[in-house]
Chains A and B, each alone.
Chain A
């Protein structure tokens, strides 16, 4: 059983909602990432979503774009990100790690080489923003061989027919993008999210994570009522940007924000 499925099964038996913080690997400097990953787990993260920096992050708002630029200033590559996951795994064998990124760095590394290496160091899932299932067959077969869960997105514009097709290709959990837009810009409205999640539940047994527009404890709490996982990205990344010159502040402020979210999600 994959670490992601195991984690969702455990949480389900405890009637808990998963909390998934997102950070961009290498932001603001590569040497902080692994320390922060451990600190986030300590503060209550159930899964970690680690962004692979890309020069042209088409689906990101200004906050995560800037994080990519900070990480790329230090040359953080896909290889470096996998090294960070390997380092993290040395002292945490249970927390699932999901990589989020864009296809081109994986294309350049090669699907087979990427999947074999990522699988061998204990990476658990992959979300490739700009690769819908229609274009994914080559990569999916390599991920399957390496026991890596492909996580796909669903959006407000996704039709019922596509939900069925996408969830058949997805493992671990499916990620619902709560609004039309880029990361970190708008606040979500819970009513339409609730409605869409009901629709998705009719069509799949996979756990449903919700991301985009979750900015604070209040929005995290309302999403936790309807979803199986709450993903928080830009709110965390903007806190990191605020303290980008101060490693200690990041390692205390970011986990403390996550604890606040944890309490809200667990209510």
Chain B
């Protein structure tokens, strides 16, 4: 068997997962993207340009913070937070959009398209497009537009056109379909910035590579701060980009347990959740083979999560592989557990987390209580919670 970090193979497969399941028109453009990326990822000038952007524009490295007070209250393991919420635009998404925008520039593309669920990836795409003077079109489910009005306005302020998607379930999966349809139509001048580690090869590979800076930094930082590697990593998993970004540089550290936390919605038994790894089956959607939420006839079913960023019926193929080989554990946190973690971190540490990240915090807190105070848990705080204030206020019956 190949060692895990050497995957995917030449054709984008992680075991039986991944691959390139798209209409013929996109096969050649995907091949071109793969070739350009393979060339540039070892190109000194490209690496330097990317490093400069990450440092001076994104604000990297992001700190690791020891949540001492929260750890003490929980009475178990020491919790450390990787502060991706402090990045420019407020989440980990920008690590990837900065990288892909540089690829777009090198390929001479003049137009950027993106899909978005919670709006974070849309904002991060609109941001890099504004900076490079590229046209930007963001596809967003009509339901998500209602849930995330603030981010829609942010994208418009940045000069992006936000196109509501009214087909299917009107959420992230439909926005992805629509972005693919746009790309197949305008493939000559358009670069499609996929926001997560899913989609046809090479996207799961290149998004992972751009996000792996999270884990590379954190691996150094925590050893400097605590003198050792963490005992466990925890990150939320929608498509799975912040999680793979944290996990990837630790995959060969066998002493480090890995937990990916899916959107548990109202609980697995309710059927209303967004947990394909915990409750789905392998299938093919959006250009790759992976775990999916589907019915007995292979139709994709609607998901539910309090967090728009986790509300997706598929997941990156590398996570599917890590689950099957047993290197990572996939678990859930429910809407209610995530909400409680949101409030706890806000009140106890003065850090307001995104609802997506609150799922990782909720599971991390539970895990900490089963461990002893000498042990370390590193949680990816993938985004900040400002965008969710309206959702939370509405749930609690408060008019903002």
Name A's B-contacting residues (CB within 8 A).
54-62, 65, 69, 72, 77-79, 102-109, 129-132, 134-135, 152-159, 162, 166, 177, 180-182, 185-186
Query: Which residues from A are CB-within-8-Å of B173?
Result: 56
Counting from the closest, the 6 A-B pairs by CB-CB distance are A108-B298, A105-B298, A155-B25, A77-B297, A181-B185, A153-B24
CA of A185 to CA of B25 in the docked complex: distance in angstroms? 15
Is B28 engaged at the interface, CB distance under 8 Å to the other chain?
yes
Q: A153 — nearest CB in chain B belongs to which residue? A: B24
Q: A128 — nearest CB in chain B belongs to which residue? A: B21
Partner of B27, one of A60, A72, A102, A132: A132
Partner of B20, one of A58, A69, A106, A132: A132
Partner of B24, one of A62, A107, A132: A132
**Number of chain B residues close to chain A: CB under 8 A:** 39
Residues B147-178 near A (CB distance < 8 A): 167-168, 173-174, 177
Are A130 and B298 within 8 A (Cβ)?
Answer: no
Are B298 and A58 within 8 A (Cβ)?
Answer: no
- A–B complex contacts, Cβ < 8 Å, 28 sampled: A55-B300, A55-B301, A56-B173, A56-B177, A59-B184, A72-B299, A104-B284, A104-B285, A105-B297, A107-B298, A108-B298, A109-B298, A130-B22, A130-B23, A130-B284, A131-B21, A132-B27, A154-B24, A155-B23, A155-B27, A157-B24, A157-B26, A158-B24, A158-B27, A158-B28, A166-B24, A180-B25, A180-B184
A78 touching B297 in the complex, CB below 8 Å, given contacts A58-B181, A157-B28, A162-B27: yes
CB contacts between A and B, total, < 8 Å:
123
CA of A166 to CA of B29 in the docked complex: distance in angstroms? 17
Are B23 and A180 within 8 A (Cβ)?
Answer: no
Query: Shortest CB–CB separation between residue B193 and chain A, in angstroms?
Result: 17
Are B168 and A55 within 8 A (Cβ)?
Answer: yes
Q: A158 — nearest CB in chain B belongs to which residue? A: B24
Query: Which residues from A are CB-within-8-Å of B20?
Result: 132, 134-135
13 new A-B contacts, CB < 8 A, other than A55-B299, A131-B284, A177-B24, are: A54-B299, A77-B297, A102-B284, A103-B21, A104-B284, A104-B285, A106-B298, A135-B19, A153-B24, A157-B26, A157-B29, A158-B27, A182-B181
Q: B297 — nearest CB in chain A belongs to which residue? A: A77
Q: A66 — nearest CB in chain B belongs to which residue? A: B167
Query: Which residues from A are CB-within-8-Å of B337?
Result: none
A181 touching B184 in the complex, CB below 8 Å, given contacts A55-B300, A130-B23: yes
Are A162 and B181 within 8 A (Cβ)?
Answer: no
| Most B Cβ at <10 Å: residue of A69, A107, A129 | A107
A104 touching B185 in the complex, CB below 8 Å, given contacts A130-B23, A132-B27: no
Are A157 and B23 within 8 A (Cβ)?
Answer: no
Query: Shortest CB–CB separation between residue B301 and chain A, in angstroms?
Result: 8
Query: Shortest CB–CB separation between residue A85 and chain B, in angstroms?
Result: 16
| Most B Cβ at <10 Å: residue of A55, A153, A181 | A55
Query: Shortest CB–CB separation between residue A151 and chain B, in angstroms?
Result: 12
Query: Which residues from B are CB-within-8-Å of A54?
Result: 298-299
| Most A Cβ at <10 Å: residue of B20, B173, B181 | B181
Partner of B283, one of A104, A135, A157: A104
Q: A61 — nearest CB in chain B belongs to which residue? A: B181
Query: Which residues from B are CB-within-8-Å of A129?
Result: 23
A108 touching B297 in the complex, CB below 8 Å, given contacts A56-B168, A130-B284: yes
